[in-house]
Structure 1
Amino acid sequence: MSIMMELDRGCSNLREYGNEQSLLSKPDGSSTFVQGDTSILAGVYGPAEVKVSKEIYDRATVEVLIQPKMGLPGVRERAREQCARETCEAALLLTLHPRSSVTVILQVVHDDGSLLSCCLNATCMALMDARLPMSHLFCSVTCAISKEGQIITDPTALQEKESRALLTFAIDSVEHNVLMSSTKGSFSLQELQRCIAISQRASEQIFQFYRESVKRRYSKIK
């Protein structure tokens, strides 16, 4: 089932969001997530057997793989994979499944900015679809700082290119704390604090989108 929602653009300038869960048959959970013209397809496998070399005796191992739209994964994909893995590790109750693995595969369908945020949001929805135990949900917001100092939330690819700094945060659904941050470019401490505050406010809208998506999905099933 596909869900589209226009978020409140007056507060944080978020683009239209869309989501569809359980669209793939092989993964244990799957989701497609759309932010404006940026689109990610996510599949979650596990808990499953893990290679002995990667086995951790007291918790599950998390692996995240990002496939670009064209070509082979490179340095940028590896950096985003690390951000997504750290966010998943902060949210999943991995001690409930020791000596197992959870694998998240993300396919970039289209990139028009805020790609890491879209990856993380697709991941959370796919983890929910897989019904994996989590201490909290998470979402992600990207902020771009223009050369004039303006903060742009959920920027497009063009806005990212014209900005002097790009900051992406993963926010938890309970305390709205920052679970992960990824930054690029130059910015002041004050600008960092403003971006965090804006992202925390914007996260409330995304979590509301999550709730509406799940509510509509299960109301259809009944």
Structure 2
Amino acid sequence: MTTTKTKRYVREDGRLLDTLREQTSVLNTITRSTSSCEWHSDETKVVCSIQGPRELQFSSLSQSKEDGERLVVESYCKLLPSKNDDEDDGSSFDDPLKEEKEKERTTEQFVKSCAKAAIELEKNASFGLIVSVQELKNDGSFLSCALNAVGLALILSGVETKGWMCSSTACLMEMSSGKGEGETPTFALALDPTREEEMKAKATMTCAFLINEETEDKTILLGTKMRGKMTETEVFECVALCRDAATSVCTYFDRVLTLREREFEERYRITDEKVEKWKKMMESIAEETKTKAV
């Protein structure tokens, strides 16, 4: 078995192996949360909600969990009911409900561990923060989409972090079966796989990174989650590919936040036109009040 680096291979959706799908986001879609982000990676859609940091007064964070030295972080995930796919996804569960609960639990634990590694826990001691993730649609690379939604929502919440948390997913695709005489199977790493590509892949890995250009280690690996088997070389190549993709996601974060800041500046900027409008409005109110008084 060999691993190829064929980057010019065109996938079924028209992308190259090292190309991300279109990444978009909608900010603060949930009004009752501190911040929220709906993240779309083409047809994969997920929404994240952040509540806190605040005092531990809600039932999900009991007083027994209070930590006088660190921020308490809890994570909750709700997945859509899985469909009965013909492909084998490597699951060892016979009960679909039990399998769904286990997927939710493992997703919650991974999101929680990555969020705790990214947040300055000591600067919000005795407070709690809840990270909630809701799957809207899964067309592959769901976990990386969820982590990107969490990362952007954390920035919007104002909680102090060590950097920006970004994530990406890659899979090991079979390029040739090697069934011919003297041939060996060849595989290639594909970035941001679709659901169909994930089901056919030999292995899939999701990597979470902490990116901060002002630190000595600009990119830190927070955690990885893998399904299937890879060689040591393939793992390192996969992490490098995901790191480059996460850097692109970080650039997208910067662009979204810059546009948001410009919109706020434009909305609340005091101009001569606005001053004249306010002046006329106040004169109108004063004249109306004087008329009623007479």
Normalised by the length of structure 1, the TM-score is 0.92
Tell me the alpha carbon deviations over residues 21-54 of structure 1, each in whole angstroms, 9 at most, x when there is no partner: 1222100011100111101111100112221221
Paired-residue identity, %: 25
Normalised by the length of structure 2, the TM-score is 0.70
- Equivalent residue in structure 2 for 1:133, among 157, 160, 167: 160
Matched pairs, number: 214
- Equivalent residue in structure 1 for 2:247, among 198, 204, 209: 204
Tell me which amino acid in the other structure corresponds to 1:40. Answer: V
- Equivalent residue in structure 2 for 1:25, among 31, 40, 57: 31
1:77 aligns with 2:83: no
Asked whether the 8 Å contact 2:72–2:128 carries over to 1, the reply is: yes
- Please state whether the residue corresponding to 1:155 is helix, strand or coil: coil
- Please state whether the residue corresponding to 1:182 is helix, strand or coil: strand
Q: Compute the displacement of 1:11 (Å).
A: 7.9
Tell me which amino acid in the other structure corresponds to 1:69. Answer: L
1:44 equivalent in structure 2: 50
Q: Once superposed, what is the RMSD of the aligned Cα atoms?
A: 1.5
* Equivalent residue runs for 1:85-104 within 5 Å: 85-104=112-131
1:173 aligns with 2:197: no
2:201 equivalent in structure 1: 163
In structure 1, what is the Cα distance between the partners aligned to 2:253 and 2:123?
Answer: 24
In structure 2, what is the Cα distance between the partners aligned to 1:38 and 1:55?
Answer: 35
1:190 aligns with 2:233: yes
Unaligned runs of 5+ in 2: 1-14, 57-61, 83-96, 175-185, 213-217, 266-294
Q: Compute the displacement of 1:58 (Å).
A: 0.5
Q: Compute the displacement of 1:10 (Å).
A: 6.0
1:3 equivalent in structure 2: none
Tell me the alpha carbon deviations over residues 63-93 of structure 1, each in whole angstroms, 9 at most, x when there is no partner: 1111112487510111111111111111111
- Equivalent residue in structure 2 for 1:112, among 133, 136, 139: 139
2:72 equivalent in structure 1: 61
In structure 2, what is the Cα distance between the partners aligned to 1:145 and 1:111?
Answer: 19
- After superposing on structure 2, the runs of 4+ consecutive aligned residues of structure 1 that deviate more than 4 Å are none
Tell me the alpha carbon deviations over residues 189-215 of structure 1, each in whole angstroms, 9 at most, x when there is no partner: 000000011111112211110000111
Q: Return the index of the structure with the highest Cα Rg.
A: 2
1:14 equivalent in structure 2: 20
In structure 2, what is the Cα distance between the partners aligned to 1:102 and 1:11?
Answer: 37
Tell me which amino acid in the other structure corresponds to 1:106. Answer: V
Q: Compute the displacement of 1:104 (Å).
A: 0.7
Unaligned runs of 5+ in 1: 1-8
- Please state whether the residue corresponding to 1:177 is helix, strand or coil: strand
Q: Compute the displacement of 1:136 (Å).
A: 0.6
Asked whether the 8 Å contact 2:17–2:190 carries over to 1, the reply is: no
Tell me the alpha carbon deviations over residues 140-164 of structure 1, each in whole angstroms, 9 at most, x when there is no partner: 0101001341101110000000001
Asked whether the 8 Å contact 2:162–2:210 carries over to 1, the reply is: no
Tell me which amino acid in the other structure corresponds to 1:159. Answer: E
